[in-house]
Structure 1
Amino acid sequence: MPALPSPIELVTNRLPARHRAAAGELLRFGLVGVFGLLVDIAAVYALIPSLGLYGAGMAAYLIAASCNWVLHRLWTFRARAQRPAHTQWLRFLMVNLAGFMVNRGAYSALIASFVLPRHYPVLAVAAGAASGFLINFLLSRRLVFG
């Protein structure tokens, strides 16, 4: 009995062959990003009492980025050449500084400018994650896992 295609394969198989691998990576990157967003949100809320809104936002980003790197290494980009883990993790964090600046810039701007995100930090975390997504994907694909 043949194996059923994964949901990602169902989507990517409709694309021209030359785009399938990149599209699959983008979809997996997005799914890992959603998981990372949940980790980020949980960490922000857990750390607010001890670190405040801004400190919690910074620490939570490091926690979520590390979780994302593990999942990208094991799943998103598993077919690509792999560097030693410690080197790749550091490179992932360094390369994603551009996405981090966009991500936490949006987070901080929303916290500083509007009352609603101060009461519901999940809104600022989600807006930051969305704003840094494409930058992180392109840099990760080319410079970390490429």
Structure 2
Amino acid sequence: MAMRSFVMFCIGGVIGFIVDAGVLQILVTGFAWDRFSARLISFLFAATATWLFNRNYTFRGRRRHSRLGEWARYVLAMSGGFACNFAAYSALVLAFNVDRQWLVLAVAAGSVAGLGVNYFASRYWIYRKAHHPQAPAEPAPAAEQE
């Protein structure tokens, strides 16, 4: 089950990467936004896309909060991974002056950097299974123990 959820999470991550890189390109190339401000907006779009995928496919059936509450928790949880993501992205952008058509490479590196943090935050915080303590087993009657 854990391997299946990780693979599905990675598929959702690919969708998020496409959304992230696409929105970033549109903002930087089409609207002349700077590479860093645009990345903050593209993250919100990507996080929303991955949240939709993960809630419907990767972790379906596990609901403890309203949609808005779940989305807010998800974006908050993804912010930890985004810190790793944005650090890797920024390092590449600044070190190699990555611009315009090559921003996709920096987004890809950032996505890989944040993957583990995001998966664990999703699996063990946002979509963790509720644990119901089991009642202690009753001892068998004396006649059955012999």
In the superposition, the TM-score normalised over structure 1's length comes to 0.81
Q: What does residue range 1-146 of structure 1 map to in structure 2 within 5 Å? A: 21-48=1-28, 49-115=31-97, 117-119=98-100, 120-146=102-128
Instruction: Look at both structures and tell me which one has the larger radius of gyration over its CA atoms.
Output: 2
Structure 2: give runs of 5+ residues left out of the alignment: 129-146
Q: How many residues align?
A: 125
Whole-angstrom CA distance in 2 between matches of 1:124 and 1:111: 7
- CA–CA distance in structure 1, aligned partners of residues 124 and 86 of structure 2: 22
Shift of 1:69: 0.4
Offset of 1:50 from its aligned partner? 3.6
Deviates more, 1:47-56 or 1:84-93: 47-56
1:76-111 Cα offsets, whole Å, 9 max, x none, are 100323421110100001111110100011111111
Q: 1:132 & 1:101 partners in 2: Cα distance?
A: 8
SS at match of 1:53: coil
Task: Give unpaired runs (5+ residues) of structure 1.
Answer: 1-20
Counterpart residue type for residue 64 of structure 1: A
The alignment-based identity, stated in percent, is 32
Could you tell me the TM-score, scaled by structure 2's length?
0.81
Match of 2:33, SS state, is helix
For 1:51, what is the secondary structure of its paired residue? coil
